[in-house]
Amino acid sequence: MFTSGWASGINAYAVVLVLGLLGATGVGEGVPAALQRPDVLLVAGVLFLCEAVADKVPYVDSVWDAVHTVIRPVAGGVVAALLAGHDGSLPQLAAGAVGGSTALVSHLVKAGTRIAVNTSPEPASNIVLSLAEDLGVAGLVAFALFHPVAAAGIAGALLAAGIAVVVFLWSRIRRYLRRRRQRREEKRFATAGGAVPPAV
């Protein structure tokens, strides 16, 4: 549940798609039937392709992350609860809470890292980082079906490392947010026909 939560915060659609495909093909056991449904796999596949494109374009990736601030934690909680089974039981509710909260933290780490990367908006770094995230999510989710404890340890280490990176890059993130706020102010004043406010 912890691993699926971490992965959902990075790419929720990849988590659903990988788990569903592994379950539907019989490679992985214990995958909930709800994730193996053809309609769920189709929607997850289409949304995964949308994310695969949006996630590799500077600034578009940050907009996509902002939209998914609610979606990823909810998906992490739902997937974790489904994996826990026992409809309506306390363990299922606890699993959903762990999955959702872990997904929220990993989502914030991802969003913060992308903001830092976008301070130098050439596409190469976004593409490399996005591919690493996609491959990492797919690999760790598949690994978790066979070695859940080891996968949870890896996910925990990656989450801790991500938090450390965001803290280290926080000054760069703040500069980016300040410049973006200044651009919005300039556009607003230009539209209103007023003078452009001085940069802070």
Give per-residue burial for 154-182: e unless 16+ CB within 10 Å, then b. bbeebbeebeeebeebeebbeebeeeeee
How far is the C-alpha of 15 from the C-alpha of 28, rounded, in Å? Answer: 13
106 and 181 assigned to the same domain: no
Query: Residue 42: what pLDDT?
Result: 97
Query: Residue 198: what pLDDT?
Result: 54
Query: Residue 189: what pLDDT?
Result: 76
151 and 193 assigned to the same domain: no
155 and 178 assigned to the same domain: no
- The answer to whether residues 18 and 134 touch, using CB atoms and an 8 Å cutoff, is no
Residue 59 gets the label, from left (phi > 0), alpha (psi -120 to 50) or beta, of: left
163 and 182 assigned to the same domain: no
57 and 127 assigned to the same domain: yes
178 and 159 assigned to the same domain: no
51 and 98 assigned to the same domain: yes
Helix (H, G, I), strand (E, B) or coil at 192: helix
154 and 175 assigned to the same domain: no
Query: Residue 179: what pLDDT?
Result: 78
- Provide the residue range defining the domain that includes 196: 170-200
Each residue of 120-167: pLDDT tens digit?
A: 767 788 889 899 999 999 999 999 999 999 999 999 999 999 999 888
102 and 128 assigned to the same domain: yes
19 and 104 assigned to the same domain: yes
87 and 147 assigned to the same domain: yes
Determine whether 135 is exposed, middle or buried from the number of CB atoms within 10 Å of its CB (0-12, 13-18, 19+): exposed
How far is the C-alpha of 12 from the C-alpha of 16, rounded, in Å? Answer: 6
Under-70 pLDDT residues of the chain: 86, 88, 121, 192-200
Query: Residue 121: what pLDDT?
Result: 64
Report yes or no on whether pTM surpasses 0.85.
no
As for how many domains the chain has, the answer is 2
Query: Residue 54: what pLDDT?
Result: 92
135 and 192 assigned to the same domain: no
